[in-house]
Amino acid sequence: MEALALLQDVFDILLGFGLLWLAWLALFSLDLFRSIVSFISFGLLMAIIWVRLDAPDVALAEAAIGAGLTGALFLAAFAKLQPASVNGKGSSINPQKQSSRKQLLRWLPALIMLWIASGLTIAILALPPHATGLTSEVTSNLTASGVSNPVTAVLLNFRGYDTLLEIVVLLLALLAVWSIGSSVPSIESEPGPVLDTLSRLLVPILIMVSAYLLWVGAHAPGGAFQAGAVLGAAGVLLVLSGWKLYPGLEGFPLRLVLTAGSITFVVIAILTMLVSGTFMQFPPAQASILILILEMVATLSIGVTLAALFIGSPPTDIKKL
């Protein structure tokens, strides 16, 4: 057992340093493309670390959103940057350009970073080695929450208000992107038969996975965000293989789907207020079904929103107005 513990420690150390190394590559590699790829790998490694830290819900979210979708966003932006910028690649570090003053401008922040890092290290190490946080409160109220996965309970019941605002943040990001991005070129690709086949095969599976994650989220790792992210990934895949939304759906129907999550949240919150007298107080008996409804609609909205974020430019219906 000693050996196993040691092995685990070595594994942790390797993971930790691997993470730092990938972060370094992502930030300071000469080739921007390599940076982005490093960042995606960074996200995957991060997901493994989440598992190591017994945070499978976070791991799922990280893999799907942190590494997957964020990575896709970066890659898409990188692709769009190429024609627009004069020196898209590796413009950040140019050895010839560095004068002594620039050297100083690098060393000074580096020293400050070291100082901050050491201060924070001391602060973290000063924390007591054991702390329960809110574990006991969560556990004792879990039965009343309507779900048995504590993370889902926190997300959708105990701190559901945060989650409502968070969904609004996501929607807001899309509004902002649409507001800004009306002239940003959309991605054009010739999918080719392989990608086409792949997407036809993969998208149904992804939808199924999404539904599974949603369902299982009540008692095991998973939930609306993870499910939504998978759905979003399916959407991204469709976009990449050249699928387009039926024009009739680009207007109000699309907007309705995008807002459905927030609207459902608000409606349920108001209903609970009418029934129990308190905003977002789910009656324990109905909590589970309410949360499921909420998550289902939210998943759909999150998925579509993420896919729309990936596309970047607003649908023509918005654009022409």
Partner 1 sequence: MLTEYVSAVLLVAGAIFYLAGTIGLLRFPDVYTRLHALTKADNLGLGLIVIGLSLQASSFAAAGKLFLIWLLVLLAGASVSHLVARAALHKGVHLWKR
Partner 2 sequence: MNTVFLYALVGIGLFCLGLFALIVQAHLLRKILAINIMGSGVFLILVALARRTEGGIPDPVPHAMVITGIVVAVSATALALVMILKVTESSGQPEFPDEESK
Partner 3 sequence: MGITFIDFPWAIALILLPLTGGLSCFLWPSVSKILGLVTVIGVMLSATGLGWLVIDKGVYHYLVGGWGAPLGIELYVDGLSLLMLMVTALVALGVSIYSIHYFELSYQRRFWPLWLFLLTALNALFLSADIFNLYVTLELMGLAAVALATLTGSHDAFTAAMRYLLATLLGSLAFLFGVVLLYHSFGSLDIAVLSERFESNITAWAAFGLISAGLVLKTALFPMHFWLPPAHANAPAPVSAVLSALVVKASFYILLRLWLEIFSQLDTDVDILFGFLGSIAIIWGSLQALRQTRIKLLVAYSTVAQVGYLFLAFPLAEKVGVTAWSAAVYLILSHALAKSAMFLAAGNLLRFGGHDRIADLDRVAQRLPITVAAFALAGVSIMGLPPSGGFISKWLLLQSALVQSQWGLVGVMLIGGVLAAAYIFKVLGRAFTQAPLPHEPGVVPATMEWAALLLAGGAILLGFFASEILAIIEIGSPFGAGEVKL
- Backbone dihedral region of 90: left (phi > 0), alpha (psi from -120 to 50 degrees) or beta? left
Among 37, 41, 58, 222, binds partner 2 (CB under 8 A): 58
Q: Is residue 112 within the footprint of partner 1 (CB under 8 A)?
A: no
Q: Which is nearer to partner 3, 43 or 261 (CB)?
A: 261
**Binding-site partner at residue 201 among partner 1, partner 3, partner 2, none, CB < 5 to 8 Å by type:** partner 1
Mark out the alpha helices in 146-248 (DSSP H runs). 150-153, 160-180, 192-216, 224-240
**Binding-site partner at residue 42 among partner 3, partner 1, partner 2, none, CB < 5 to 8 Å by type:** partner 2
Could you identify the residue written with the tokens 């196993």? 4
How close are the terminal C-alpha atoms of the chain, in Å? 67
Q: Which stretch binds partner 3 (CB under 8 A): 26-34, 155-163, 185-193, 290-298?
A: 155-163
Q: Which is nearer to partner 2, 51 or 207 (CB)?
A: 51
The Cα–Cα gap between 188 and 178 comes to 18
- Pattern of binders to partner 3 over 170-209, x per CB under 8 A? -xxx-xx-xxx-----------------------------
Of 189-208, binders to partner 1 (CB under 8 A) are 192, 194-195, 197-198, 201-202, 205
Name 261's Cβ contacts closer than 8 Å, sequence gap at least 6: 167, 171, 297, 298, 299, 300, 301, 302
CA distances from 69 to 275, 283, 308 (A): 39, 35, 11
Which residues of this protein are in contact with partner 3, per CB under 8 A?
Answer: 119-120, 122-124, 126-127, 131-134, 137-138, 141, 157-162, 165-166, 168-169, 171-173, 175-176, 178-180, 252, 255-256, 258-259, 262-263, 266, 269-270, 273-274, 276, 278-282, 318, 321
